[in-house]
Amino acid sequence: MSAITTGSVPRLRRGVRLSYDQTRETHVLLFPEGVLVPNPTAAAVLRLCDGTADVAAIAAKLGERYTGVREEEILDVLSRLGDRRIVEWS
């Protein structure tokens, strides 16, 4: 894929699932290679990665709930998760 932009549409890769762990009282990413505990910011972004909303729409939705949401920061989070093969782009 070429450069990731605000028009890119992220989704969790096949086999990856975001779940809430009652024991740890936090979200966890379950994937074939293991488990990752995302920070609250990453979890909020990942909940919106449904394969239909682009980065700009995700930023707008998060902006309704939080102040200071910047598309560049969302792109950074998703880019790092993409490098770890957790998120893919359509």
Identify the residue with better confidence: 6 or 2: 6
| Closest by CA position to 73, among listed 26, 41, 28, 29 | 41
- Residue 1 within a domain: no
CATH label of the domain that carries residue 84:
1.10.10.1150
- The range of the structural domain enclosing residue 16 comes to 10-89
pLDDT digits (tens, 9 = 90+) for 14-40: 999 999 999 989 999 999 889 999 999
- Residue 5 within a domain: no
Number of domains within the chain: 1
Instruction: Give the angle subtended at the CA of 25 by the CAs of 19 and 28, to the nearest 5°.
Output: 30
pLDDT digits (tens, 9 = 90+) for 46-90: 999 999 999 999 999 999 999 999 999 999 999 999 999 999 998
What gap in Å lies between CA 51 and CA 87, rounded to an integer?
Answer: 10
Predicted pLDDT of residue 35: 93
- Residue 3 within a domain: no
Q: What is the dihedral of CA 24, 26, 30, 36, to 10 degrees?
A: -90
